[in-house]
Structure formats: structure tokens, C-alpha cells
């Protein structure tokens, strides 16, 4: 069987994961013409929220970017950059990398003034290099499209070194993009109604009690009301939350030879038929693009981050427009899901990646197994 | 009595504040800074350029530039210059890199597609659509923004720049024509590339999220070059994150 770009990505990731006793699990997949991608040339490699912090701030807030000690993500991306170069040389396949926002967590990094430029050069330097900075330093670089997340600014000032976009479409031949990406905060009612300063105040001064994707005091208090725990335990509960992910049939281990089911997703037949609070708003936004005759009207796949909860939701209304929502998750907090082989539920650090090639969209969970 | 004195003091401070506000407001000058090559749109990025391989060589290559051309260590695309004698540097940087300094997009703005690329107008739209923080002045991104919305939003300026008669007649006439387009004029331009005295006229105006800077050469009857740089305001812009 000829190896396809998905297999090459998996092989490349496993070259790094193998020596670390790691593996890849499939959290979601839709392999179907419903995706509407006419091109086989591009491979879209999607990296979700990272919320990078300097070590001092990480200690203060007791949460942070998963697997930072082993440099796991940087190692994976460095190997992917090598694959990108070989594809560039062959001119047949092009790797397009997108980081979906909330790369740095400037809200937590800076208590008061907006001084993003004070981040030390070597703070998370390996990830900055491999995603966007390496091109200026002569090193390997993915030249990623970096989306602007709500945590990427301090009082609305971004880190100047990062080439931010508000959103992206794939570059089609015919001005009909199938793929749209946004961080997701523009569809979050809290984000769009509360001033940044209030949200940042809540995050910073109640920092250790506030999970990274919940900001205002009122929201925090609602959360605490639902958790019957002492204040001491509560801190752990909200800074180390678990996102229950439920891939149908359990998460299959992925290797290049493994046949995978074509649909590992939540399938709905109406945009209001899901508990996901973003789906309906995003679906409606594509409708508005259609009403305005804009390129967004052609979009079949919407990819986002922001929620930290990986999910794949396919809506196929009878006679209506299909849409796939691909929330790629995060590399902070924890996720819980069951393994396909024995149904055992596991809880482990979130470490998710998304890949789209042709009409095949996937979300992977990167696992590091305990040694011995 | 005390109340009266207090009231007089309040009135006095209010009056002083208003005067200060007016003075400061009147004296504020708007200066446009040129920005780095990545922020600055000064050439059609899809247009190949022709350059000599080595100094004095008659052999030439045609290439479309990538971001790596402007990195401090130089690139394989262009020559590097070294000091004739050793200097005190301990790093690996050359003394200088030979890189293109673009003189600006030709005006009137052309809508004619170029071989293997986009027209100047369409490439500018592509640049604008990626937003003011994208840093894509040298090389277009591998993804894109909403070019159709951008084309509609910037149509008044793009159409203006596409007609030679709009750009002729001297500064006052061009300013008068532009004033109907809801633009903001700059008082001064800081051009990191050239001395402004090289030009007979420089006119900068802001429309939406970008500054458009027009250059007129001596003995030319119209503004004939364009550079576009982003206005770096506050970054969060929720409507811009939506697909419409």
C-alpha cells in the first residue's frame, strides 16, 4: 500500500515518540468527501492552545504547558519541520502549519503593565524558533500561521515578534476555501462582553483558583458551586481540570499500517442538536458569509481552539449545508478517554494535534506511557 | 465663603485643564514610521525580480523573494559584504547583506495580472487581508485572509490609486480629492529607506487599518510610488476573527 501524507506524519511523530515510550491515539476522524477539499497538495497541521509561561509564572499559577520537561512538542515539531523541507524539495506536497492561538499566556505572565517585550529570549525559545522565529535565525522553522488568541495580548498589546492573524482560510485555486480557522474567542460571550482589564484582573489575582479558560469572578463562583470540595481541594480541581473526551468506540492506537474507521466523531443533523456552545454560532457565521456572498460561504471545515476540549462534530442536515467543527483541544490541563482495546478509561495530560489532508481530517492525542 | 473659594478653585482648575487639553490636542502631530521590510508593502510579492548572481556578472537569475532574504545572517540569494580588515565581532554575521530596497509599488495601481503571479492591486489586497499584524511584506502567508471583504472595504482607496488623474495636480489637489474618502492625513513620515528630500512630494494618509504613503519624484506630474504600512492599534478585534 503506498504511503500517504497522513502516514508520513504519523511515521514522523512516532520517530520521536518511540524512544520516549510514546504512542498516538485517535480522538477523532472524518474521512469523507463531505469535507469538500479538492486539493491533495496541502497538509494542514494544527497546533492548539499552548499557554506558554516563564518558569516563575508557571510555579505561581500551578498550571502550565504539558510535557514541557521533556520538550515533547518542540521535538515533534522539529522532526515535522524536516518532513516539511523534504516535501518542499519534492514540490508535490506542502505542509501548512497553524497554531490556533493562546500561544503565550500574557495575562498570567505580566501582573500589571503591558510589557510583552520583556519575555526573555530563551523563554520557550525552542517553540518560538520552530514555529516562527527560526526563519530569522537560520534554523529549522515551520513558518506557522499564528492566530491571535485572547491570552496572546496584554491590555490588547500583543507580543510584537509574533506574526499574528485574526483568522485564516486555506489558499484555494478558485477563491472557494473549504477551511476556516479562528481562535474561538470571538464566539465566546464572556470574551466579547467583558473588558480585558476585568478578565485579566480576575485571572491574575485569583489566579491559582481559576482554570485557564474561565476568567471572571462570577463564572468562577458558578464553577465552585458545582463542585462539592473543600477550598484546598478546590484549587486542584479548577487548576487541573479534566476534559472528558468520548471518541466513539474508544481511542484507537494509530500507526501507519492501522486501518482506521472513517467516522470517529459526533454526527448531528441540525446545528442546534449539540451541547457544544460554539457549534451553532459558527454554523450561523457561515450562513452570514453566504448572505454577504463572501468566501466564507464555501467553508466546510471550521477549526478552532480556545475551549481546551478536543472535539469533532459533523453536521449533515437533510438537504442543508454540511459543516465539520474541529476543536483541536490544547496542551494544558488533562483529558479523559477510553482506550479502544479494553475500554479502560485513562486520564492524562492533554496533548492534541490536528491534521487535514485531502478529505481526511483527524485529531490525535499524543501519549507518553509510564516506563517499566 | 469657603464654599465660594472652593468653587473658584474648581473653576480655575477646570479652565486650566481645558486650555491644556486644547494646547496638547492642537500640538499633537501624527507621524508615520516606515516599519521593517516585513511590515512594509512596497512591491508586488508575486513579481519575480532579476538580479546579478555576483557583482559585475552578466549572468542574472530571476527569483521571487522569501522571508529569509532579510535575516541578519544573510541568505544564499544575495551577496554578503565583509569588512576589508578584521573587526572585533565574535559572532558569525557578515558586515552587511546585499538586499533589495524596494522603491514602492508603481502608481497608478495596476490591475493587470503578472506572469505567474497576481496583479499589483490583487497582491496588495492579499497583503491587506492578512491584517495589520501578519508581517507578510516580503512573502505572502501560506494561508490567507478574506480578500473579498478587503476588496470591498478598501475599494475607495484602491480605485483612487488606480487612476492617474487622481494622483496628479499637486499635493493640495490630491488632498482635496482624498478628503472625501474618510481618510486621516499624517503630519510627517519617517522613512527608514531614503531621505525624503529625494522626492518632490510625500503624502501619507490612513484608511481603515493601514497607512498609504505616496511619493512623487522631481519633474514628475503625479505621485508614482506607493508604500503601505500597518497602523498598530490595539490588537484584539473580535469582528475580524469571524468569517464575514
Q: Which three-class secondary structure string do you get for A261-279?
A: CCEECEEECCCCCCCCCCH
CA distance A321 to A325: 13
Across the A:B interface, residue pairs with CB atoms under 8 Å apart total 124
Higher pLDDT, A164 or B24: A164
Longest dimension (CA), chain A: 59
CA distance B243 to A181: 9
CA dihedral sign of residues A179, A334, A190, A202: negative
Rounded percentage of chain B residues whose pLDDT exceeds 70: 85
Q: Which residues of A touch B94 (CB under 8 A)?
A: none
Q: Does B76 touch chain A (CB under 8 A)?
A: no
Q: Which residues contact A113 (CB under 8 A, 6 or more apart)?
A: none
* A3 contacts A256 by C-beta, under 8 angstroms: yes
**φ, ψ at A27 (rounded to 5°):** -90, -25
- CA closest to A298 among chain B residues: B243
**What ipTM describes this predicted complex?**
0.88
Average pLDDT on A317-324 reads 95
* A296 contacts B243 by C-beta, under 8 angstroms: yes
Q: Residue A119 has what pLDDT?
A: 80
CA dihedral sign of residues A164, A167, A173, A175: negative
* A256 contacts A11 by C-beta, under 8 angstroms: yes
Q: Which residues of A touch B148 (CB under 8 A)?
A: 175, 293-295
In angstroms, the separation between the Cα of residue B244 and the nearest Cα of chain A is 5
Average pLDDT of chain B to the nearest whole number: 89
The structure's pTM equals 0.89
Q: Which of A169, A286, A299 sits opposite B143 (nearest CB)?
A: A169
Q: Which residues of A touch B146 (CB under 8 A)?
A: 167, 169, 294-296
In angstroms, the separation between the Cα of residue B88 and the nearest Cα of chain A is 21
Each residue's pLDDT tens digit, A196-253: 555 555 554 444 444 444 444 444 444 444 444 444 444 554 556 789 998 999 999 9
**Pairing status of strand A301-304 against strand A179-182:** parallel
Higher pLDDT, A123 or B131: B131
A371, pLDDT greater than 80: no
Q: Residue A201 has what pLDDT?
A: 52
Each residue's pLDDT tens digit, B182-228: 899 999 999 999 999 999 999 999 999 999 999 999 999 999 999 99
Q: Which residues contact B3 (CB under 8 A, 6 or more apart)?
A: none
Report in angstroms the alpha-carbon separations of A153 from A66, A161, B14, B239.
21, 12, 36, 16
CB contact under 8 A, B244 and A285: yes
Average pLDDT on B24-50 reads 86
Confidence of residue A106 (pLDDT cuts 50, 70, 90): confident
Average pLDDT of chain A to the nearest whole number: 87
Give the DSSP per-residue string, A299-330.
Answer: --EEEE-SS---EEEEE--TTS--EEEEE--B
- Quote the distance between the C-alpha of residue A142 and its chain's center: 16
- CA closest to B38 among chain A residues: A163
**φ, ψ at B210 (rounded to 5°):** -135, 150
CB contact under 8 A, B244 and A183: no
Q: Which residues of B touch A293 (CB under 8 A)?
A: 148
Each residue's pLDDT tens digit, A328-347: 999 998 999 999 999 999 99
Which among A168, A281, A290 is the top mutation candidate for probing chain B, defined by the most B β-carbons within 10 Å of its own β-carbon?
A: A168
CB contact under 8 A, B143 and A145: yes
Q: Does A158 touch chain B (CB under 8 A)?
A: yes
A85, pLDDT greater than 90: yes
* A327 contacts A309 by C-beta, under 8 angstroms: yes
Q: Which of A166, A181, A293 sits opposite B237 (nearest CB)?
A: A166
Please report where in the chains the cell 485517535 appears, as a residue: A26
Tell me whether residue B64 is exposed, middle or buried, using C-beta atoms within 10 angstroms of its C-beta: 0 to 12, 13 to 18, 19 or more: middle
**φ, ψ at A118 (rounded to 5°):** -85, 0
Confidence of residue B63 (pLDDT cuts 50, 70, 90): confident
In angstroms, the separation between the Cα of residue A212 and the nearest Cα of chain B is 18
Q: Which of A97, A167, A175 sits opposite B241 (nearest CB)?
A: A167
Weakest mean pLDDT among B23-27, B45-49, B219-223: B23-27
**Pairing status of strand B201-207 against strand B184-185:** antiparallel
Length of chain B: 244
CA distance A250 to A336: 11
Q: Which residues of B touch A302 (CB under 8 A)?
A: 243
Q: Does A234 touch chain B (CB under 8 A)?
A: no
Confidence of residue A104 (pLDDT cuts 50, 70, 90): confident
Higher pLDDT, A158 or B41: B41
Rounded percentage of chain A residues whose pLDDT exceeds 90: 66
Give the DSSP per-residue string, B171-207.
Answer: HHHHHHHHGGG--EE-SEEE-SSS-GGGSSEEEEEEE
CA distance B113 to B121: 9
Average pLDDT on B122-143 reads 97
Q: Residue A225 has what pLDDT?
A: 41
CA distance A98 to A87: 17
Residues 118-147 of B with CB under 8 A from A: 130-131, 133-136, 141-147
Average pLDDT on B21-45 reads 82
* A249 contacts A261 by C-beta, under 8 angstroms: yes
Give the CA radius of gyration of chain B: 23
Each residue's pLDDT tens digit, A263-290: 999 999 999 999 999 999 999 999 999 9
Higher pLDDT, B28 or A227: B28
Higher pLDDT, B20 or B236: B236
Give the DSSP per-residue string, A140-160.
Answer: -----EEE--GGGEETTEEPT
B64, pLDDT greater than 90: no
Average pLDDT on A24-49 reads 97
**Pairing status of strand A167-169 against strand A179-182:** antiparallel
CB contact under 8 A, A148 and B72: no
Confidence of residue B58 (pLDDT cuts 50, 70, 90): low
Please report where in the chains the cell 503601505 appears, as a residue: B228
CA distance A206 to A209: 6
Q: Which of B148, B149, B238 sits opposite A186 (nearest CB)?
A: B238
Q: Residue A268 has what pLDDT?
A: 97
A64, pLDDT greater than 90: no
Average pLDDT on A95-99 reads 98
Weakest mean pLDDT among A11-20, A211-220, A270-279, B157-166: A211-220
Q: Residue A221 has what pLDDT?
A: 46
Please report where in the chains the cell 552587511 appears, as a residue: B96
Average pLDDT on B234-244 reads 90
B75, pLDDT greater than 60: yes
CA distance A118 to A107: 13
CA dihedral sign of residues A343, A349, A355, A361: positive
Q: Does B208 touch chain A (CB under 8 A)?
A: no
Q: Residue A224 has what pLDDT?
A: 44
* A141 contacts A135 by C-beta, under 8 angstroms: yes
Q: Does B231 touch chain A (CB under 8 A)?
A: no
CA distance A363 to A9: 12
* Helix (H) or strand (E) segment spanning residue B5: helix B2-27
Confidence of residue B18 (pLDDT cuts 50, 70, 90): low
Q: Residue A188 has what pLDDT?
A: 85
Nearest to A103 by CA among A332, A280, A269, A360: A332
CA distance B166 to A34: 48
Amino acid at each position: 500500500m503506498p504511503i500517504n501524507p497522513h502516514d508520513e506524519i504519523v511515521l514522523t511523530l512516532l520517530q520521536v515518540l518511540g524512544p520516549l515510550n510514546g504512542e498516538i491515539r485517535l480522538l477523532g476522524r472524518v474521512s469523507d468527501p463531505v469535507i469538500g477539499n479538492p486539493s491533495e497538495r496541502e497538509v494542514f497541521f494544527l497546533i492548539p492552545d499552548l499557554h506558554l509561561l516563564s518558569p516563575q509564572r508557571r510555579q505561581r499559577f500551578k498550571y502550565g504547558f504539558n510535557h514541557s520537561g521533556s520538550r515533547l512538542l518542540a521535538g515533534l515539531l522539529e522532526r515535522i519541520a524536516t518532513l516539511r523541507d523534504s516535501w518542499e524539495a519534492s514540490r508535490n506536497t506542502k505542509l501548512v502549519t497553524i497554531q490556533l492561538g493562546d500561544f503565550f499566556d500574557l495575562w498570567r505572565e505580566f501582573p500589571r503593565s503591558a510589557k510583552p517585550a520583556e519575555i526573555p529570549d530563551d523563554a520557550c525559545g525552542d517553540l518560538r524558533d520552530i514555529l516562527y522565529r527560526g526563519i530569522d535565525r537560520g534554523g529549522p522553522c515551520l513558518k506557522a500561521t499564528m492566530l491571535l488568541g485572547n491570552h496572546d495580548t496584554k491590555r490588547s498589546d500583543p507580543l510584537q515578534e509574533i506574526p499574528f492573524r485574526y483568522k485564516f482560510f486555506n489558499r484555494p485555486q478558485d477563491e472557494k476555501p473549504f477551511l476556516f480557522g479562528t481562535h474561538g474567542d470571538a464566539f465566546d460571550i464572556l470574551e466579547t462582553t467583558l473588558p480585558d482589564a476585568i478578565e485579566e484582573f480576575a485571572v491574575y489575582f485569583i489566579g491559582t483558583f481559576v482554570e485557564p479558560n474561565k476568567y471572571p469572578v462570577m463564572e468562577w463562583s458558578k464553577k465552585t458551586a458545582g463542585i462539592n470540595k473543600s477550598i484546598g481541594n478546590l484549587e486542584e480541581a479548577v487548576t487541573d481540570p479534566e476534559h472528558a473526551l468520548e471518541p466513539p468506540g474508544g481511542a484507537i492506537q494509530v500507526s501507519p499500517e492501522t486501518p482506521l474507521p472513517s467516522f470517529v466523531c459526533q454526527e448531528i443533523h441540525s446545528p442546534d442538536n449539540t451541547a457544544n456552545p460554539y457549534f451553532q454560532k459558527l454554523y450561523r457565521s457561515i450562513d452570514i458569509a453566504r448572505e454577504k456572498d463572501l468566501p466564507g460561504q464555501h467553508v466546510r471545515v471550521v477549526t478552532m481552539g480556545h475551549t481546551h476540549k478536543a472535539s469533532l462534530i459533523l453536521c449533515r442536515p437533510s438537504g442543508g449545508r454540511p459543516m465539520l467543527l474541529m476543536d483541536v483541544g490544547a496542551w494544558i490541563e488533562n483529558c479523559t478517554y477510553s482506550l479502544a482495546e479494553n475500554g479502560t478509561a485513562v486520564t492524562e495530560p492533554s496533548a492534541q494535534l490536528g491534521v487535514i489532508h485531502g478529505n481526511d481530517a483527524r485529531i490525535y492525542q499524543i501519549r507518553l506511557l509510564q516506563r517499566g | 465663603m469657603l464654599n465660594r473659594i472652593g468653587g473658584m478653585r474648581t473653576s480655575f482648575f477646570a479652565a486650566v485643564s481645558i486650555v491644556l487639553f486644547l494646547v496638547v490636542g492642537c500640538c499633537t502631530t501624527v507621524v508615520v514610521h516606515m516599519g521593517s521590510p516585513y511590515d512594509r508593502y512596497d512591491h508586488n510579492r508575486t513579481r519575480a525580480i532579476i538580479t546579478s548572481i555576483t557583482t559585475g556578472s552578466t549572468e542574472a537569475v530571476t527569483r521571487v523573494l522569501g522571508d529569509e532574504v532579510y535575516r541578519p545572517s544573510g541568505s544564499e540569494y544575495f551577496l554578503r559584504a565583509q569588512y576589508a580588515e578584521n573587526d572585533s565581532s565574535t559572532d558569525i554575521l557578515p558586515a552587511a547583506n546585499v538586499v533589495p530596497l524596494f522603491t514602492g509599488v508603481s502608481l497608478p495601481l495596476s490591475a493587470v495580472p503578472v506572469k505567474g503571479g497576481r496583479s499589483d492591486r490583487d497582491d496588495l489586497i492579499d497583503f491587506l487581508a492578512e491584517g495589520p499584524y501578519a508581517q507578510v511584506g516580503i512573502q505572502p502567508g501560506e494561508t490567507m485572509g478574506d480578500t473579498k471583504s478587503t476588496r470591498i472595504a478598501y475599494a475607495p482607496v484602491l480605485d483612487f490609486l488606480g487612476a492617474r488623474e487622481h494622483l496628479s495636480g499637486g499635493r493640495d489637489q490630491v488632498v482635496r480629492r482624498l478628503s472625501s474618502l474618510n481618510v486621516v492625513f499624517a503630519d510627517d513620515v519617517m522613512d527608514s529607506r531614503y531621505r525624503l528630500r529625494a522626492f518632490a512630494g510625500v503624502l501619507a494618509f490612513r484608511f481603515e487599518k493601514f497607512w498609504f504613503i505616496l511619493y512623487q519624484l522631481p519633474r514628475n506630474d503625479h505621485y508614482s510610488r506607493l508604500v503601505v504600512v500597518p497602523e498598530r492599534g490595539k490588537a484584539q478585534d473580535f469582528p475580524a476573527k469571524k468569517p464575514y
